[in-house]
Structure 1
Amino acid sequence: MTTLWDTTGSAVVKELAAQRRTGGAVLSGVALTLVVVADESRVAEAEEAATHAAESHPCRILVVVRRQLEAPAPRLDAEVLIGGRLGPGEAVVMRMYGRLGLHAESVVLPLLAADAPVVAWWHAAPPEKLATDALAVFAHRRITDSSIAEDPLAALRTRAADYAPGDTDLAWTRSTAWRSTLASTLDSVSGRRGEPVAVQGARVEGDAANPTAQLLAGWISSRCGCPVSVEDGGRKPNSSGVDSVALQLDQDEEVRIQADRRGGAVISQPNRPDATVALVDRPLGDLLSEELRRLDRDEPYSEALEAATGVSGLAGRSPEREHVWFDPADNGSSSRKRAAAKTADA
């Protein structure tokens, strides 16, 4: 590992090339570039998750930490690692101070792995409009996490309003185990009947303020075309925010999946004894690794997000984003000046 203090983007590129020559062609089989945007308080957690994901998806890891945008002078501190704490591949951790943080792409773009897709992951509060961050504009896939926002449900609605194909949310990824269990259970009921099962209604119990519970309810509604309610349960659910799911079927039958305290769930279905399946909380690295398996648009997510938020037409939007310059230090002064100028001209 080499630490470069008060350096430049060109020096980081040169140091990475020098270490590559010394260590050999470490990333000849790189699958993608993972750009991680993290708050300083979450850097260690983000690095651990990215390292775990890189074990399954060989990638170059670029960690961007924007610090002290109000600093009087721009500054870049960088750690360049090959075969270090971030796994066997290449990684750069960049801490940007002052106005440089608003132009992070100027440092990141030269560091992207050649001819490899780019995935951007915000382990921090993302901007309300991703297009205001150039890192989102050139990324092929964009991963956010509504669950870590101060108001998760408001963040979910923001992501729907700003959605473009290629976006996804780790709140959605946390519902994978529930979705798989529900789908396999309904397949089992259909197999015994010898005909498809019609779901006439559903109820999700747990934490109604958790975006995962809302997205799971949206997925059931979009797939089954039935009303789904989300209700606060009596127990404190796991990170998914889901304690149980009940599906009302035709022929006056019900399927229920109830989480237990031991990292599993009990499946109750018609004409069969109860069964137990694993339903454990997954670490952040597993969630990130799942999202890196696909680089195309996630249509089930967009359909679930539509149903959960009531915002329609998500799948028909363009996957291309055009960068919108946004200066957080401006505080609207430029807008006021433009408005004043128009008034004076009139």
Structure 2
Amino acid sequence: MITPMPNTTTSKIARGLVEAQEHYTLTTSRVLTLIVVVNADDEVDAVLDSIRDASHEHPSRVLVVIRGNRRAEPLLNAELRVGGEAGASEIVVMHLFGALADNAESVVTPLLLPDTPIVVWWPTAAPPEPARTPIGALGQRRITHATTKQDLGNLSSGYTPGDTDMAWGEITQWRGIVASSLDRLPHEAVQRVEVSGPSNSLAVDLAAAWLHDRLGVPVKRLVTELSGAKSSADEKFTIHSVHFFRDTSDIIIDAVEAGSVRVNVPGSPESMVALNTRSSAEILSEELRHLDADKAYAHTLRGLRQVDY
């Protein structure tokens, strides 16, 4: 159910949430408050779909801040979403205009759940220093979505414990496959590594930086693009291949077809492992499971400058 609340205030929104809990028998067992920051020209419906899908694992109070025209008169228009429109969460979509657009923290603060963790998510834009933004300072966990290598560099230099990025969550399962492959016999020291993938994929950059940090050997990041017409059947995992060079037994893990990767370890039969590119909802669900600082991500950002391009 969607309840429009035009030209409203935070106190009216708070009363609307209480009434929704009373009249629509909503559960009150919210595990956290999720603040989502987007702009008016972003694909807000896609963001809401991801939130709704992730809510079944993490029922939350979700405060979606949509920043509109800064030159307009100060105005707060809201929508209260419950039931099927919100999954297992309660969602407040707030359109902020005028001075309110740059003071979103003052709008969301009265609506925060008491005694629960606060997570801030920027699904379409990554501020250079998330923890130092007024709204980011409210959260103990901050999730960004970098889109360029410059964004990634800014996040690295402005890192604060509690930061993470969607591109990092994209390679979680791939990292598990890599670790398992390196654990197989024969055990030999890795001398160098080559990682390949599309030029615009930040997940590939993070994968290369992670391997450099963990192995302490030279890592080269190569560019490979899909050839020919791009159809759903041709879609491969973001990281097209990783090659571990060793004295006598190289390991190669490559995406040979949609939905799976091939693992080639000398002395073992060639194997195929299921692996798909994860949706935003899947990555968001994973990040919401861990509310402490992600040390592996911090170390990976540190390794970005050491990758050879």
TM-score by length of 1: 0.82
Question: Is 1:243 matched up with 2:248?
Answer: no
Aligned residue in 2 for 1:105: 105
How far 1:39 moved relative to its partner? 2.7
CA 43–100 in structure 1, closer or farther in 2 if over 3 Å, else same: same
Deviations 1:102-123 (A, max 9, x none): 1111221111112110010001
Question: Is 1:172 matched up with 2:173?
Answer: no
Distance 1:96 1:255 in 2: 53
- Where do 1:204-223 residues align within 5 Å? 204-223=195-214
How far 1:305 moved relative to its partner? 0.8
Gaps of 5+ in 1: 312-346
Distance 2:151 2:182 in 1: 32
How far 1:182 moved relative to its partner? 0.4
Distance 1:298 1:153 in 2: 20
CA contact 2:194–2:220 (8 Å) conserved in 1? yes
Distance 1:239 1:37 in 2: 30
Distance 1:86 1:156 in 2: 31
How far 1:271 moved relative to its partner? 1.6
Question: Is 1:231 matched up with 2:231?
Answer: no
Which amino acid in 1 is paired with 2:8?
T
Tell me the secondary structure at the aligned position of residue 35 of structure 2. Answer: strand
Tell me the secondary structure at the aligned position of residue 63 of structure 1. Answer: strand
How far 1:59 moved relative to its partner? 1.1
TM-score by length of 2: 0.91
Distance 2:52 2:305 in 1: 33
Tell me the secondary structure at the aligned position of residue 56 of structure 1. Answer: coil
Q: CA RMSD in A?
A: 1.9
Tell me the secondary structure at the aligned position of residue 92 of structure 1. Answer: strand
- Where do 1:266-281 residues align within 5 Å? 266-281=262-277
Which amino acid in 2 is paired with 1:223?
R
Tell me the secondary structure at the aligned position of residue 273 of structure 1. Answer: coil
Tell me the secondary structure at the aligned position of residue 253 of structure 1. Answer: coil
Deviations 1:151-192 (A, max 9, x none): x10010010111100000011111112211101111223xxx
List structure 1 runs of 4+ shifted beyond 6 angstroms. Answer: none
Aligned residue in 2 for 1:37: 37
CA contact 1:121–1:144 (8 Å) conserved in 2? yes
Deviations 1:24-53 (A, max 9, x none): 4522x2111111112333211111111111
- Where do 1:1-346 residues align within 5 Å? 1-24=2-25, 26-27=27-28, 29-40=29-40, 41-71=42-72, 73-131=73-131, 133-146=133-146, 149=147, 152-189=148-185, 193=186, 196-235=187-226, 241-249=238-246, 251-309=247-305
Aligned residue in 1 for 2:230: none
Distance 2:83 2:121 in 1: 22
CA contact 2:170–2:278 (8 Å) conserved in 1? yes
Q: Give the structure with higher Rg (CA).
A: 1
Tell me the secondary structure at the aligned position of residue 289 of structure 1. Answer: helix
